[in-house]
Chain A
Amino acid sequence: MDINFVIEKFALVTILFSISLVIAMYSTYAERKVAAFLQDRLGPDRAGPFGILQPLADGLKMFMKEEIIPSNASKWLFMVGPGLAMLCACIGTAVIPWGQDLNIGGRVVPLQVTDINVGVLYLFGVVSLGVYGVMIGGWASNNKYSLLSAIRAASQNISYEVAMGLSIIALLLMTNTLSLKEIVAQQHGWHWNVIYQPLGFIIFMVCSFAETNRAPFDLPECETELIGGYHTEYSSMKLGFYLFAEYINMFVSSAVMATLYFGGYNYPWMDTVAAHVSPNTAALIGTVILFAKIFAFIFFFMWVRWTIPRFRYDQLMNLGWKTLIPLAIANIIVTGIVIAVVNKF
């Protein structure tokens, strides 16, 4: 392993980490702005022009708040909870291919931290670990509402992970690989997977709403029933970490959806564009396109949040187990048959 490799990966990790944090930061701002526009309001507009400094002000507020650890809480786990939530949210970006390879001074630099051949599995692992932060925090708070919320989060995530996994199997039948880099490369130009797997995409999207605890599946933090949910007892930056982790999760799942179903950095007529500009520029244009897709998904997350009311708990379970899972299984069967028939002729 040469030193350039270490520098290159270190730089990529640092950039990705900062991008995730900045996007999460400005997602809080965007969320409030989108909510405001959807409700005929203006949203935050006092801190800086158009309220652009609002996230900084919010962050400062979070840091300045008093840190309270309940006297009967399990102190160690109480502190581990938000950290784990944040960690699991951040490491998901490692396997996502952010663009085509760059060529810097004769060196080929892939815009992906690591291209493991089980990238999709890794993502699932990280996503299911994410619920541990919520679980541990909710349990360690020694508060009934927090515990209830943690249990809800766990059962919701487990239920929807099944449907999510099944919806992705249909995709994998088509791609024949678990490596995200190859999955993206196969979707060159217009051949986005969403065209071949619309049902799979819808199931996947609904499940990622549930996995990120976003409305209409934000049962773990519904104020009407559970005060603040699993972070009822949290204050100061620990609370900030939980809120932040939610937005990073949203960013990561948007990136995953864009990568798996919407072609990642691919866009129509990319070959025409690539013929006119240098390879590095073409790769960077692809990255910009990927981020545009991600932002569109983040906007969609917010749009849905401010439109749809929360599901009741039994509706949530009915939808997950009785609708999405059978649909996903049917999708696998149909995909399998179609692939078999197409291969035959």
Chain B
Amino acid sequence: MESLSNKKKVLEQKPLNLAERMYLPAIVKGLGTTMSHFFKKSSTIRYPEQEREFSINWRGMHSLKRDEEGRERCTACGLCALSCPAEAITMIAAERKPEEKDLYREEKYAAVYEINMLRCIFCGLCEEACPKEAIYLDGPIVPSDYLRKDFIYGKDKLVEAPLEK
């Protein structure tokens, strides 16, 4: 059959010519190649001291956002949990009391909000599903741990630090 891409190349096995059989010209060429790398700058990042910058579309640990007055944006609608393909998110909703007005933006809020980081695949669908712009995957790498239960992150780890006044 004819090749569609026209990139096919039929190679014949030819016996080596004298220069190739001597190995030395090829070896000298190879030595030159490696020597050119000897003087190149290494691309190593010395990890604990230096860190590689994340790309702009990096998705890391989740954070639950606050609005400009420092109130939690999440209204516990559950769309993130519903959109999550890994079923990593659970929450329990509660009704806001009048004295909690400056803690939560909406009348309903998430009393418990848990993400299982072992289930999470960091696809970002929760971020897309959220109507209140309350969850973003803009954190660092999720750290390792020893016990499975420690990977279930509650609001203590997820909610953004309160605004400083």
User: Which of B32-40, B80-88, B110-118 forms contacts with chain A?
Assistant: B32-40
Taking the complex as formed, is A344 at the interface, i.e. its CB lies under 8 A from any CB of chain B?
Answer: no
User: Which of A97-105, A128-136, A304-312 forms contacts with chain B?
Assistant: A304-312
Within 8 Å CB of A45, what residues of B? 46
Contact B30 A307 (CB under 8 A): yes
Question: Would A307 and B43 be within 8 Å (CB), given that A38-B37, A39-B37 are in contact?
Answer: no
Taking the complex as formed, is A2 at the interface, i.e. its CB lies under 8 A from any CB of chain B?
Answer: no
Question: Would A42 and B35 be within 8 Å (CB), given that A307-B27, A307-B30, A308-B30 are in contact?
Answer: no
Taking the complex as formed, is B55 at the interface, i.e. its CB lies under 8 A from any CB of chain A?
Answer: no
Contact B37 A37 (CB under 8 A): yes
Contact A42 B34 (CB under 8 A): no
For chain B, residues 38 to 58, give those with C-beta under 8 angstroms from any C-beta of chain A.
Answer: 38, 40-44, 46
Cα separation A39 to B44 with both chains bound (whole Å): 11
Cα separation A40 to B30 with both chains bound (whole Å): 16
Within 8 Å CB of A308, what residues of B? 27, 30
Taking the complex as formed, is B31 at the interface, i.e. its CB lies under 8 A from any CB of chain A?
Answer: yes
Beta-carbon nearest neighbor of A46 in chain B: B46
Within 8 Å CB of A306, what residues of B? 34
Beta-carbon nearest neighbor of B33 in chain A: A307
Contact A38 B42 (CB under 8 A): no
Distance (Å) between the CB of A318 and the closest chain B CB? 10
Among A36, A38, A39, A319, the most chain B Cβ lie within 10 Å of the Cβ of A38
Interface membership of chain B positions 64-78, coded 1 if the CB is closer than 8 angstroms to chain A and 0 otherwise: 000000000000000
Number of interface residues of A (CB under 8 A): 17
Beta-carbon nearest neighbor of A35 in chain B: B34
Instruction: Give the residue of A38, A202, A319, A323 whose beta carbon is less than 8 angstroms from that of B34.
Output: A38
Instruction: Give the residue of A40, A202, A319, A323 whose beta carbon is less than 8 angstroms from that of B40.
Output: A40
Taking the complex as formed, is A107 at the interface, i.e. its CB lies under 8 A from any CB of chain B?
Answer: no
Within 8 Å CB of B37, what residues of A? 37-40
Contact B44 A307 (CB under 8 A): no
Within 8 Å CB of A41, what residues of B? 42, 44
Binding site secondary structure of chain B: helix
Taking the complex as formed, is A303 at the interface, i.e. its CB lies under 8 A from any CB of chain B?
Answer: yes
Distance (Å) between the CB of A34 and the closest chain B CB? 8
Contact A307 B42 (CB under 8 A): no
Within 8 Å CB of B24, what residues of A? 202
Beta-carbon nearest neighbor of A304 in chain B: B31
Question: Would A42 and B44 be within 8 Å (CB), given that A37-B37, A37-B38 are in contact?
Answer: yes
Within 8 Å CB of B34, what residues of A? 38, 303, 306-307
Within 8 Å CB of B43, what residues of A? 40
Cα separation A38 to B37 with both chains bound (whole Å): 5
Among B24, B38, B40, B46, the most chain A Cβ lie within 10 Å of the Cβ of B38
Cα separation A306 to B38 with both chains bound (whole Å): 11
Distance (Å) between the CB of B96 and the closest chain A CB? 53
Cα separation A323 to B21 with both chains bound (whole Å): 10
Within 8 Å CB of B27, what residues of A? 304, 307-308
Cα separation A308 to B29 with both chains bound (whole Å): 10
Question: Would A38 and B38 be within 8 Å (CB), given that A307-B27, A307-B31, A308-B30 are in contact?
Answer: yes
Cα separation A36 to B23 with both chains bound (whole Å): 25
Contact A36 B42 (CB under 8 A): yes
Instruction: Give the residue of B23, B30, B31, B42 whose beta carbon is less than 8 angstroms from that of A37.
Output: B42
Interface membership of chain B positions 1-41, coded 1 if the CB is closer than 8 angstroms to chain A and 0 otherwise: 00000000000000000000101100100110111011011
Distance (Å) between the CB of A32 and the closest chain B CB? 13
Distance (Å) between the CB of B138 and the closest chain A CB? 31
6 contacts between A and B (CB under 8 A): A37-B38, A37-B42, A40-B40, A41-B42, A45-B46, A308-B27
Listed from nearest, the 4 A-B pairs whose CB atoms lie closest are: A307-B34, A42-B44, A38-B34, A307-B30
List residues of chain A with CB under 8 Å of any chain B CB.
34, 36-42, 45, 202, 303-304, 306-308, 319, 323
Q: Known pairs A38-B35, A40-B42, A308-B27. 17 more at Cβ < 8 A?
A: A36-B42, A37-B37, A37-B42, A38-B34, A38-B37, A38-B38, A40-B41, A41-B44, A45-B46, A202-B24, A303-B31, A303-B35, A306-B34, A307-B27, A307-B30, A307-B34, A319-B23
